[in-house]
Structure 1
Amino acid sequence: KEALAMSARCIVPRIRSWRALMQTRRRMCSGSQEELQAFLESSANVTRCAHLSAFVQTLELHGMRRVDPMDRRHLHPLVIPVAVSPTSGSHTCMLRMPSASKGDMLPIVETTGQTGLRLVAPNTRSYLMRLAVEADESADEGKKSAVIEAANSAGELYKRGEKKEKSPSLSLTKYILSKVGAFPDLYEELALHHLERGDQTAALVAAERSAKIQHGWGSGYRFQALLYTKLGREKEAKDAAKLALMMPLWTLGEQVEEVSRQAGEADVKAFKQKIAEMSKSTRTIEMSQGHPLEKAKEEAMLERADDIMNEVCLGTYKGWDDVRSQLAEIYMGGGRMDLASFVQAHSER
């Protein structure tokens, strides 16, 4: 009993300190959250995000520092910065793709290096649920309570002890993937776990799932290429690497050189040009078969913008800030004033 009492006396102050920290941050967060909501609506031209305040609070509890959404210097033109890691300098952001319209559905990404992005979560809701579940497995009672409370601040997403109560036999990774959402890093973790156990088929299935949920991203194919290489299946590794290169280069997470080597494509620029020509030919055929002209024009406009962004990843430009004006002109030419104003929305500080 004395040991339990001593343990309780140690835990209670930690819980109080985490709660005090969360309350302070909640008060500080209210103003910045409104600024971020306003940026989503006025600059990004998407609807409000219901879980935005909870998202910011939870990131802060994980040691991240809030940032001004207008401070987008040197960042990818399509991201909305939310927080930055004081240690690594990487930003956690919301990604506003051209087809986006709902703030609740914006993917969560992390910057990698100067030009790359890594897909973290499908949206704020699923990311908060994941962080709550992971916190529930923590031995730190104070942090556990604070994170789960913050994650649930816009409506209950996860009840403390829920995993242990309903799915005690599932590993943390499998629980999150089956009950919370699809996360690329967890499927990759699962693939490597299967590989260590000698189950190559299960490993490849998990890797394929990772690539599938990252629609339009090259990182999933890059991981498949790495896995095929580990298995000595060089032809399949080369094919997967080529698929990765067909995606926007910023989706490779700063691994363009490595992927091009695996694909056997030393001249990535020439490879991308060949893909662009194939796409143009396909579009011409589709138009002759009744494909809407306006749709074809928009596709061509988005491809031109992708070409410019690929050039940044290949080092043709010093960084993202050098192409904001060009991207804006392309988007304006295609009638997308919303995108044109968004890519240029940044502070001059």
Structure 2
Amino acid sequence: MRAGLAVVASRGAFATAAVSSFRWLKPIVRCSSSSPSTAVSTTIPTSTSFDHISFIKDIAATRPPEHLNYLLNMLQSRGEAVISPAAKEGLVPLVIPLSESSAGTLTCLLRWPTSPPGMEMPVVEVHKHGVWLLAKSVDLYIHRILVEEDAKAQDDNKLWNASSEAGEKLYKRGDFLESQVTDLDVYLLKKVGLFPDVIERKVSCHLERGDLVSAMITGEFYTKNHFPGFGRPFAFNAQLLLKVGRKLEAKDAARGSLKSPWWTLGFKYQEVAEIAEWEDEQIEFIKEKVTEEGRQEDLKKGKAPEQVALDEAAFLLDLASIDGNWDEVGVKLDFSIWVHHGQLILLGTQ
């Protein structure tokens, strides 16, 4: 059984609820104007914040982040195009698109299939093989954007106007300069929250100074359940340990990261599997599990049909992440494990 947050309700720290109480997403209509790639084409029609809020309520079947409309305004004010939440072709099936940068980078929300009560949807950046965590919540991301803007000490008010009431609630303009903290990353970690890229930069700084002990301590801190469900901290720590000559520990760390959904590694699967010294047997095992024979075998072992379907969905996502072929898995899942009159249905696999 895999640890870490994933489509499978029993696969990790977020598997706190029984399968019978599992809530999931309803099927969506795909946007035909998008094109399969690591990012959505700029030809995708724009969308208002109301479209996103309705989509999250009605399709994703969850509570929209309180300040989502302000984040959308902020993203637009810094030159990004707000895009349709249904523009999912070529993307991980679990993301809800928000905006696209001029470079084609997508900012999205991630709708975990199951999570602890009250947990916010994280903000992620989409890549070919999965997602990269930007912030654990919309509010945290807004706070960070405002601090970074404040650190520039510019007179441009566009971003501040876009943040409006949310900005005033989350951050007081000028606090960064008044703090007399000269290192922006230090301020972010102490005053705002934890962010994967900031922690990784701290590790890199320690390495550049030749301080291997501090680098390893920071790398170990990174893995302490600050980012539940994401395999990236463990995969990054594995690469760090390998870099400093701790090959055996690196192998263990890499194998630990592969217990998380592979689309959360932040690396190509093959890069992490090489450190873990995994051959193709694990991939072949998963491929067998998503066959009819594999399903029947699990059912014979007494596993609930709902859990078998959930496991299959998780395996399909893992397999798709290897090559980044999300459209193929999207056909099989179609955003798509959902509960109807108590029956969990996996669409498109018949």
Amino acid at match of 1:95: L
Structure-2 change in CA distance of 1:252 and 1:275 (3 Å): farther
Give the unaligned 5+ runs of structure 2. 1-45
Counting only pairs closer than 5 Å after superposition, residues 304-319 of structure 1 correspond to structure 2 as 304-315=312-323, 319=325
Q: Deviations over 1:156-183 (max 9, x none)?
A: 2111111222x31352111111211111
Counterpart of 1:137?
A: 151
Alpha-carbon contact 1:59-1:83 (below 8 Å) kept: yes
Structure-2 change in CA distance of 1:337 and 1:251 (3 Å): farther
Q: Deviations over 1:233-260 (max 9, x none)?
A: 1111111111122221111235111111
CA shift for structure 1 position 139: 4.0
Distance 1:273 1:117 in 2: 22
Amino acid at match of 1:158: Y
Alpha-carbon contact 1:248-1:310 (below 8 Å) kept: yes
Distance 2:289 2:276 in 1: 14
CA shift for structure 1 position 307: 0.5
Alpha-carbon contact 2:77-2:159 (below 8 Å) kept: yes
Distance 1:159 1:336 in 2: 47
Counterpart of 1:331?
A: 337
Q: Secondary structure at the match of 1:50?
A: coil
1:259 to 263, 268, 272: 272
CA shift for structure 1 position 231: 0.7
CA shift for structure 1 position 266: 2.4
Distance 1:193 1:326 in 2: 43
Structure-2 change in CA distance of 1:90 and 1:243 (3 Å): same
Alpha-carbon contact 1:49-1:104 (below 8 Å) kept: no
Counterpart of 1:34?
A: 50
Distance 2:345 2:48 in 1: 23
Counterpart of 2:309?
A: 301
Structure-2 change in CA distance of 1:310 and 1:93 (3 Å): same
Structure-2 change in CA distance of 1:339 and 1:208 (3 Å): farther
Counting only pairs closer than 5 Å after superposition, residues 156-305 of structure 1 correspond to structure 2 as 156-165=169-178, 167-169=179-181, 171-211=183-223, 212-267=225-280, 268-270=282-284, 299-305=307-313
Structure-2 change in CA distance of 1:169 and 1:139 (3 Å): closer
Counterpart of 1:97?
A: 112
Amino acid at match of 1:76: V
Q: Secondary structure at the match of 2:165?
A: coil
Amino acid at match of 2:155: E
Alpha-carbon contact 2:238-2:251 (below 8 Å) kept: yes
Distance 1:340 1:304 in 2: 9
Q: Secondary structure at the match of 1:235?
A: helix
TM-score (structure 1 length as normaliser):
0.74
Q: Are residue 126 (structure 1) and residue 140 (structure 2) matched? A: yes
Amino acid at match of 2:144: R
Alpha-carbon contact 2:306-2:344 (below 8 Å) kept: no
1:148 to 135, 138, 160: 160
Q: Deviations over 1:197-232 (max 9, x none)?
A: 233232222222323322222211111011111211
Q: Are residue 59 (structure 1) and residue 75 (structure 2) matched? A: yes
Counterpart of 1:107?
A: 122
Q: Are residue 322 (structure 1) and residue 335 (structure 2) matched? A: no
Which structure's relative contact order is higher, taking Cα pairs within 8 Å and 6+ residues apart?
A: 2
Q: Is the deviation greater in 120-129 or in 228-237?
A: 228-237
CA shift for structure 1 position 104: 7.8
CA shift for structure 1 position 271: 6.7
Superposition RMSD on alpha carbons, in Å?
Answer: 3.3
Structure-2 change in CA distance of 1:170 and 1:139 (3 Å): closer
More helix by share: 1
Q: Deviations over 1:267-291 (max 9, x none)?
A: 1414768999xxx9xx99xx9xxxx
CA shift for structure 1 position 56: 0.8
CA shift for structure 1 position 124: 0.4
Counterpart of 2:11?
A: none
Structure-2 change in CA distance of 1:181 and 1:105 (3 Å): same
Equivalent pairs, count? 292
Distance 2:220 2:277 in 1: 22
Distance 1:253 1:269 in 2: 18
Q: Secondary structure at the match of 1:224?
A: helix
Structure-2 change in CA distance of 1:191 and 1:92 (3 Å): same
2:85 to 43, 46, 69: 69
Alpha-carbon contact 1:148-1:158 (below 8 Å) kept: no
Counterpart of 1:347?
A: none
Structure-2 change in CA distance of 1:55 and 1:329 (3 Å): closer
Alpha-carbon contact 2:105-2:126 (below 8 Å) kept: yes
Structure-2 change in CA distance of 1:303 and 1:209 (3 Å): farther
Counting only pairs closer than 5 Å after superposition, residues 14-29 of structure 1 correspond to structure 2 as none
Identity %: 32
Alpha-carbon contact 1:222-1:241 (below 8 Å) kept: yes
CA shift for structure 1 position 81: 0.2
Alpha-carbon contact 2:309-2:346 (below 8 Å) kept: no
Amino acid at match of 2:68: L
